[in-house]
Amino acid sequence: MPHRITFAQNFVVKNYLSLIKFSHTIFAMPFAIVGFFLAIESGGSFSWQKLVLVVLCMVFARSAAMAFNRYIDRAFDAQNPRTKIREIPAGIISEKSALFFVLLNCGLFIISTFFINSICFYLSPVALAVILGYSYTKRFTALCHLVLGLGLSLAPIGAFLAVKGQFEWLPILLSFTVLFWVSGFDIIYALQDEEFDKGLKLNSIPVKFGKKGALNVARFLHILSFSFLLIFALMGKFSWPFWIGFTIYSSMLVFQHTLVKPHDLSKVNLAFMTTNGIASVVFSVFYLLDYFLF
């Protein structure tokens, strides 16, 4: 036991990065960057300080949300063969330490918004209520996936507000794109726990509609994501680099649905992490190429 404690202490940062699945930041962070430069393109002024603060807000908010989800679901995770090796049920990170980590990141998030502008600061409790509140939703509604999507959709509009301090249609359309994109791929990911969630009377789209029905719902949500991005693209009057990113993003939406079948979930992680990571990063890169070149 002493050897195990020493080993865990030596890799405490690694443990917390694993707790919050830091690699999953790849989903929302690129859209936050797009929202930031979209605001500059629409008349805002560039500031390295604000860009750093936006990135910090993303890191702190997501860290708080993910750690809180792990804390709230610790009893469920301990019973699920797929998740019992997570840091809290495995005893690698204590419950108190995880909760302290949540509170610390919430505090740092609010402080960061204070140094951005007043509207971001005043809306910071609302953002935290959404991203933390998601953790409770599967206890009473199958629409939990949409709440998760809503949480991540705050990234582009939040970054836009950081620069311009006001709402506009383009970032709102981009946020709807993210909302339905995330909701769709979260449904695909949740297919893995359909039977477990049924046993504990937890709610999800797979529990409510079964695997085939859930995949149909995910497809519909991704069609909505594509539709909002198309409207965003037409209103934004972008150049050819953007349309390359748009095409690749759309292709990844379609491709992930070819990987997962009701009778074969072996490629869920490929569909969840790889295709969606490519979609967000490539889209943002080509948007930035459009921004800087044209």
Which tokens in the block code for residue 198?
Answer: 């049924």
Record the tokens describing residue 40, joined without a space.
Answer: 């500059």
> Predicted confidence band at 11 (pLDDT cuts at 50, 70, 90)?
low
Six-digit token string for 20: 């919050």
**CA dist 24 to 18, 45, 149, 269, Å?**
10, 29, 14, 12
Phi, psi of 75 (to 5 degrees): -70, -40
**What does the block give as tokens for 264?**
């074969």
Instruction: Give the domain ranges of the chain.
Output: 17-286
Query: Mean pLDDT over residues 210-223, rounded?
Result: 98
Helix ranges restricted to H, the chain: 2-10, 12-19, 29-41, 48-72, 74-79, 95-114, 118-137, 144-164, 169-190, 194-199, 205-236, 240-259, 268-269, 276-293
Q: Work out the average pLDDT over 101-119.
A: 98
Q: Is 283 exposed, middle or buried (0-12, 13-18, 19+ CB in 10 A)?
A: buried
- 62-95 pLDDT per residue, tens: 999 999 999 999 999 999 999 999 999 999 999 9
Residue 2 pLDDT more than 70?
no
Nearest to 232 by CA among 42, 29, 27: 42
Tokens of 255: 């491709």
Query: 17-286 has which fold?
Result: Tetracycline Repressor; domain 2 (1.10.357)
Task: State residue 22's pLDDT score.
Answer: 81
pLDDT band at 13 (very low <50, low <70, confident <90, very high): confident
The pLDDT of residue 249 is 98
pTM attached to this predicted model: 0.94
